Every structure is written in C-alpha cells, then in structure tokens.
A and B are shown apart, each in its own frame.
Chain A
Amino acid sequence: MAEAIQKKLKVEVEKYAQMQKEVSKSMSARQKLETQLTENNIVKEELDLLDSSNTVYKLIGPVLVKQDLDEAKATVAKRLEYINGEIQRYETLLKDMEKKSEQHREVLSSLQQEFQKAQGLAVGKV
C-alpha cells in the first residue's frame, strides 16, 4: 500500500517538476520580450530624432542593408506591436501554467499525506 503510494508520489513529483520547468521557460521568454520592448522603444525615439539626411542601416546577418528612414520607422513600429502581442500571449500562458502547477501541488500534498498515513500505519503495525 505504501509502496504504491510512493510510486504515485514519484510520478506526481516528476510531473510537477516538468510543470515548473515549463513555467520558468515561459518566464524567461517573457523577460526577453520585455527587454526587446524597451530596446525598440529607444530605437523608435532615436529614429524620430533623426532627419532624413542620415542613412539608416539594418543589420541582417553580416550585412548592413540600407534602409529608408520612414521604412525603418514603420518597421520598428510594427515590431513593437508584435512584441507587445507576444508579451500578452505569454502572460496568459503563464497564468494557466501557474494554475496547473497549483493543482499539481495540491495533488502532491494530498498524496504525501496519504503516504505518511500509510507509513504511519506500517510503523504502527511493525
């Protein structure tokens, strides 16, 4: 009886660990997005400060590609929107993950209690 519970416990623990990993992954992804957001904001500001006299380049791989200032501005704005959307998505994902992990935690704790009870019984018997 105790062993069965123990096995169950192990399985649940693994699942929970997995959940935690996923949560942390999404967390880090979200953080990345945050940094990108700030960066793009700065770029936007700088581009606004520039006038059309100076050329704008975009680094694509090892190549610096000339870009039009307006195009650049538009591109940056689009990117900003995209990043914002991604952040939202990740937030919802995180919430769901949190809930799931909570549930898992509860299950784990209940299992643990059962296990302890079983162990206690076993000890009592012995």
Chain B
Amino acid sequence: GWYFGAARQKGKRKTEELSHGYTVVSLEKPFVCRKKVSGDYEALNDRLKTLPDQLSYDIMVPFGPLAFMPGKLVHTNEVTVLLGDNWFTKCSAKQAQKIVDHRMKYVKNELDGLSKTIKNFEARVGFAKDLETISAVFIVQVINGGKQRMAHKPNSKPKQDVFFDFKEEDEENEEESGDSGSRKCIMTEEELWARLDELEKLEELQDEQDKLSDNGDMNGEDTSSSSSEEEKDADAAIPVNGLSLKPGWSALPSSTAPLRQDRKEEEDFEEEEEANCLPTIYFSHTVEPKKVRINTGKNTTLKFSERKEQKEHSKRKKKNGHSNGHAHHELHKITTPADIYSAVIGLGKFFPSLPDQLRENSVCSDTSESSAADFEERRIMGRSFSHDEAMHSDTSDGITEEDSPTAVLLQPPSRFEAFSGTVIEKDPMPSAVPHLTISPPALPTILERKQEEVAPDVAPPQQAPKRVSKFKAARLQQK
C-alpha cells in the first residue's frame, strides 16, 4: 500500500538524517586535521625556499624543553626528510621541496574528497529535514463512507483492532527507540519496517476478504487505518495516543469524531515532537454537497453545519426507533426540521395562508428526493468539513451513525423532504418563544435538537405554524 511506502520513506528519511548527521560530524575532525596539515606544509615550503639563501643563520636553538641557546644554522641546503615509518633521507632543499609538494598534493586530494562527502551528507541532511518539514503534511483521509458502511459490517471490526495492536507495538518500539538514541533508532526502524511488512500482508489479506464482502469498505478503512498508521509509525508516537485511539477504533460508531480528534492530537503530538506545527490536510472521498435552492429565489447554500444538524437530528430520531417510512403527512413523526417543513407542506392545504413559496418547496424536495445517497453524502460532507467547528456534534453524529444508514435506506421511497437542508433555528421549537429574530445559521447546539426531539409528538401541527412563522420571519430577515 502507498501508505506503507510513505511511512517507510519517512522512517528512512529519519535514519538517513541521523546517519548523515553522524557522518558529517565524524568527517569534520579529519577534515580540520588535514586542513591544518596543509597549512603546515605551506609554511614549510616557504621556509625551504628561503633557507638556502644564506650560508648560515644565527638562530636560537631550542635546548631541551625549556631553554634556548644562541647558535648557527649551517648546511642550509641539506635537509633530512622523514619519509615515514622511520625512514629518513638526506636531500637538498629543492629536493625536499619536491617531497613537500608531493605530500601537499596528497593531503589536498584527501581534503577534497572529505569536503565532497561532507557536502553530500549535509545536502542529504538538509533535504531530509526539508522533506520532513515540507511534505510532512499529514494527509488524513476522512473515511466517512467507509465508516458508515463499517457500521453495517461488524465483522470488519476485528480487523481494525488487529491493525491497532500492531500500531501499539510499533509505538512502543518507537518510544523506546526515541529514548535511546540515533543508533537504536536505526535498529528499531528496521524492526518497524519488518512490522510494516507484516501489516502490509495483513492488509492485503483483509483487502481480499473485503473485496468479497464489500468493495467500498476497504478503501475507507484502510486509508484511515493506514494514515493513522503512517502518522504513528513515522514518528515516535506516544502510546497514550494510540491507546486513546483504540477505544475509538473498536467503538466504530463513535469512530469518526474521536478518531479525528485523536488523530489531530496525535499529529499535534508528533508535531510537537518535531518542534513544528505541520499542516494537516483533511479530505474525504465524498461527493460535493448540492446547493439547495429554496424557491425564494435566493441561492441559499446550506452550511455544512446545518446539514450536520439535520443528520444529527435525523439520526437521533432514528435511533429512537422511529422509522420515517410513514406517509408524507406525518403529523406525529418529525425527525428533522425538514420533516417539519414537509409536514407543513402537507398541511399546506390546511393553511392556505401560507406563502406559496413554502408550498412550492417541492422544488427543493425534488432535489432532495433525487437520492438517498445524496442525503447520505451531504451528511458525510457536513461531517467531514465541520469537524473542526463542532466536535460535539461530531460525536453525536458518531453515536447516531450506526442507525442512520439503515434508517436512510428505509426513508427514500416514502420520504418527502420539503427542503433538503436545514435552516438552523437556535431556539427550540417547543419552547414556543416568539423569536422572530433569526439566529445566524451558526452551529446548532445539541440541546436544541434534543428538545426538539423531546417534544416532537407534542402537537406538531400546533408548532408548525409557529415554526413556519419563524422560518418565514427568518427569510424575511435574510432578505
């Protein structure tokens, strides 16, 4: 899988970095030494040039380690040269110069080689560092579709756990390696790679299994697991995070939000370890949400949070065991605000005073009716995009996720959505407080919805007009 490759690369990079750093350091010493030596030789060369100029020099001769004696330097052309390994030769100054030049060449060659290798390693180190900082944008695939389907398939759970155990082990290994040092890091890297291999094989096996069962599943799961793996494997992830993730994994329904959260934490952790904030790109496979046009003429694009609200709402309602397979005019079962509006439309006959626009919401309903998949997807989109904003709603989503797909499947044929999105009204309906002020379509609170849920059965027709009025007021205000 690609994610393994990436993780491996990342691990490789790290080892490379470390090894290169080490080699650079180790190469510096001989480099410096050789530089000194070449300097000495240059000075020697100069001395040899000037030495034969005079027949004899008056010098201060070192006498033991502490004293000097005035003396003369004679036979200025005769130089005894150490060839190495206790071999000497007597030669003229010029010959000595030749020898010195020779040695200079040799030393320079070595210097050049050393400097080249140092540069090489430095470049590699820099490159590795850059790679880590630049490309370490943790690409987290939000596997909403996969997750949802996961809810269908309980047999896929153990897979996750299996992955997870490996990850934990890896984390432990990495922690140890991180503690010990660079060399040990390299060792555990190798272990890591071995583990990665195992995991790859496992994955492939599971891939095959899944292909038999469901096609779409694997991609989502694998990518999620792999991406999280990647994160963990690549850096010395802290087992705490991993442990915290485990419940998220095993408790699939509540997976997305806590998972994402944990991932983020993980990433943050990893980022901290790297002493840098790394950008995280979240993306999901899902389809772009449709823009719902309300027949008011405004092109109102529903905010994702709104949609999520709707999802959440619908899910919770479904969780309560309601099936929305009832007829349109469900005066008793209102699961989403959309239901309300559909109810309103149904009741439109009874409330001729309603504006036509509301009644003609069939346009929106058409779009909504187009596909249950759309509905799902919109939900997914909402979830994926708004996770940053509303984690709590995410969790609620997660909780109710399980129920949703089944419920949705039941819904489409009979469902008549007046209005595929939700206009969020902050104040709970049943409270019946006359707000004509519209709350901006901000993040809804779960409380509201719960209250809605609580009192759905309470004379919806009674509420409907109030809601209608609110809605109308909202639109008016928006205008």
Contact = CB atoms under 8 A, between A and B. Distances in A.
Contacts of A57: 80, 87-90
B89 A56 contact: yes
Contacts of A72: 87
A69 to B, nearest CB: 8
Contacts of A39: 84-85
Nearest to B79: A54
Contacts, number: 60
Nearest to B82: A59
A46 B85 contact: no
A58 B87 contact: yes
Interface in B234-267: none
B91 interface: yes
Contacts of A55: 89-90
Nearest to B95: A54
Contact of A50 (B84, B85, B86, B89): B89
Contact of B90 (A46, A47, A54): A54
Contacts of A79: 85
A36 B86 CA distance: 11
A46 B99 contact: yes
Nearest to A75: B87
Contacts of A1: none
Given A46-B102, A49-B98, A54 B89 contact: yes
B83 interface: yes
Interface string A24-39: 0000000000001001
Interface in A5-52: 36, 39-40, 42-43, 45-47, 49-50
Contact of A43 (B83, B91, B98): B83
Determine the interface band of chain B, counting residues with CB < 8 A from chain A.
10 to 19
A42 B87 CA distance: 11
Contacts of B86: 58-60
A77 to B, nearest CB: 12
B85 A40 contact: yes
B106 interface: yes
A42 B106 contact: yes
A126 interface: no
Nearest to A47: B83
A46 B89 contact: yes
Contacts of A42: 83-84, 103, 106
Nearest to A80: B85
Contacts of B85: 36, 39-40, 43, 76, 79
Interface string A75-114: 0100100000000000000000000000000000000000
Contacts of A76: 85, 87
A49 B80 contact: no
B430 to A, nearest CB: 60
Contact of B83 (A36, A46, A60, A64): A46
Contacts of A40: 84-85
Contacts of A64: 80, 88
B80 A43 contact: no
User: Taking each of B89, B91, B98, B106, which has the highest tally of chain A beta carbons within 10 Å of its own beta carbon?
Assistant: B89
A2 B91 CA distance: 74
A55 B98 CA distance: 16
Nearest to A53: B91
A57 B87 CA distance: 6
A56 B99 contact: no
A72 B81 CA distance: 14
Contacts of B89: 46-47, 50, 54-57
A79 B84 CA distance: 13
Contacts of B98: 49
Contacts of A60: 86
A64 B84 CA distance: 14
User: Taking each of A40, A50, A67, which has the highest tally of chain B beta carbons within 10 Å of its own beta carbon?
Assistant: A50
A49 B102 contact: yes
A43 B103 CA distance: 11
14 contacts: A39-B85, A42-B103, A46-B83, A47-B83, A47-B89, A49-B102, A54-B92, A54-B95, A55-B90, A56-B88, A57-B80, A57-B88, A59-B86, A64-B88
Interface of B: 80-81, 83-92, 95, 98-99, 102-103, 106
Q: Which 6 A-B pairs have the closest CB atoms?
A: A57-B88, A59-B86, A54-B91, A39-B84, A43-B83, A46-B83
Interface of A: 36, 39-40, 42-43, 45-47, 49-50, 53-60, 64, 67, 72, 76, 79
Given A42-B84, A43-B83, A46-B81, 15 more contacts: A39-B84, A39-B85, A40-B85, A42-B103, A42-B106, A43-B84, A47-B83, A47-B89, A54-B92, A56-B89, A57-B88, A57-B89, A58-B88, A67-B87, A76-B85
